[in-house]
Amino acid sequence: MSGEVIGHSVQGRAITLTRVGEADATRRLLVVGCIHGNEPAGRGIVEALERSSPAPETELLLVRDLNPDGFAHHVRTNAHGVDLNRNSPEHWAGAGARPWSEPETRAIRDLILRERPALSIYYHQPFGLVDVPEGGQPQAAARYAELTGLPLRRLSRRPGSISRWQNVRLRPGSAFVVELAPGALPAALRLRHVAAVLAL
């Protein structure tokens, strides 16, 4: 396991990537615990994954906090007041001065383009479901829903969504959103989510 700084927030907080598994792995999975600062339950899943043992030929790319300023202040947006999950160019609708205007979104964009993960999972709250990824090939999302007991549902289109951008930019179905229930995630459920990530 190793940690590295992949960028800094508006207020200068480090955005840290933890790698778990084989450095020369042929398959990489990206897991982002917290994008909206007031939706932090996924952080516990990522923290548990930092102590896990992924399958052979697999490396986990773990970002506990993409929005450390929002988490520190218990707000949805970053310190510029921008919703980071509306800041990609995919159907961008004005979140930020322009697509990728925020240092946090540029950090995750650069990581994705450099590492080209086979699969990415983004945790949000509070709907308690797995969102069907746009663009087809929902098999990974459906399997995750099956393993965790969450329903598989299609949410309405979110303009500027990072996961949608990734599905367009890399490959359909390579990124999906898990909406955890409101509040803290019980330990037993956290372990179920960890097991589902490792199974994928």
pTM listed for this prediction: 0.96
d(CA 38, CA 135): 28
DSSP state letter for 52: -
pLDDT tens digit string along 43-78? 999 999 999 999 999 999 999 999 999 999 999 999
Model confidence at 157: pLDDT above 90: no
What was the pLDDT predicted at 63? 98
DSSP state letter for 176: E
d(CA 105, CA 100): 6
Residues 6+ apart with CB under 8 A from 94: none
Of 23-27, 120-124, 131-135, 181-185, least confident by mean pLDDT is 131-135
Q: What domains sit in the chain, N to C, each tagged with a CATH number?
A: 2-199 (3.40.630.10)
DSSP state letter for 20: E
Distance from first CA to last CA of the chain, Å, rounded?
A: 19
d(CA 86, CA 182): 21
Whole-number CA gyration radius for the chain: 15
Work out the pLDDT band at 158, boundaries 50, 70, 90.
confident
d(CA 87, CA 99): 5
CA distances 89 to 62, 64, 93, 170, Å, are 23, 23, 9, 14
What was the pLDDT predicted at 23? 86
* Portion of the chain with pLDDT greater than 90, in percent: 89
Mean of the per-residue pLDDT values of the chain: 95
What was the pLDDT predicted at 185? 95
Residues 6+ apart with CB under 8 A from 29: 54, 58, 59, 60, 61, 117, 118, 119, 120, 121, 197, 200
